[in-house]
Amino acid sequence: MSQADAIRVAIAGAAGRMGRALIEAALADPLLTFSAALEMPGHPALGRDAGEAMGLSTGVLLESDIESVLEKSDCLIDFTRPAATLASLAHVRRMGKAMVIGTTGFSAEEKQQIADAAADVAVVFAPNMAVGVNALFKLASVAASILGDQFDVEIIEAHHRHKVDAPSGTALRLGEAVAQALGRDLASVAVHGREGVTGERDTMSIGFHAIRGGDIVGEHTVLFAGLGERIELSVRSSSRLTYAQGAMRAVKFATSQPPGLYDMQDVLGLH
Helices (H) and strands (E) in the chain — how many of each?
A: 9, 12
| pLDDT at residue 59 in the model | 96
- Per the DSSP assignment, residues forming a β-bridge with 63 are 38
Regarding pTM above 0.85, the answer is no
- pLDDT at 52 > cutoff 50: yes
Mean pLDDT of 170-186: 96
- pLDDT at 4 > cutoff 90: no
Mean pLDDT of 115-143: 95
Mean pLDDT of 184-211: 96
220 is catalytic: no
| pLDDT at residue 1 in the model | 47
Mean pLDDT of 27-39: 97
CATH of 3-125+240-267, one of 3.40.50.720, 3.30.465.10, 3.40.50.150, 3.40.80.10: 3.40.50.720
Percentage of residues in the chain having pLDDT higher than 90: 92
**Structural domain boundaries in the chain:** 3-125+240-267, 131-237
163 is catalytic: yes
| pLDDT at residue 210 in the model | 97
- pLDDT at 268 > cutoff 60: yes
* C-alpha span between 8 and 10 (Å, rounded): 7
| pLDDT at residue 239 in the model | 87
- For every residue of 223-254, DSSP letters joined together read EEE-SS-EEEEEEEES-THHHHHHHHHHHHHH
Domain 131-237 classified CATH 3.40.630.10? Answer: no
Catalytic residue among 97, 159, 209, 220: 159
User: Band of the pLDDT at 3, cuts 50, 70, 90?
Assistant: low
Catalytic residue among 91, 138, 163, 252: 163
What value does the mean pLDDT of the chain take? 95
Backbone angles phi, psi at 96, to 5 degrees: 70, 35
Handedness of CA 236, 240, 241, 245 (dihedral sign): positive
- pLDDT at 170 > cutoff 80: yes
pLDDT digits (tens, 9 = 90+) for 142-165: 999 999 999 999 999 999 999 999
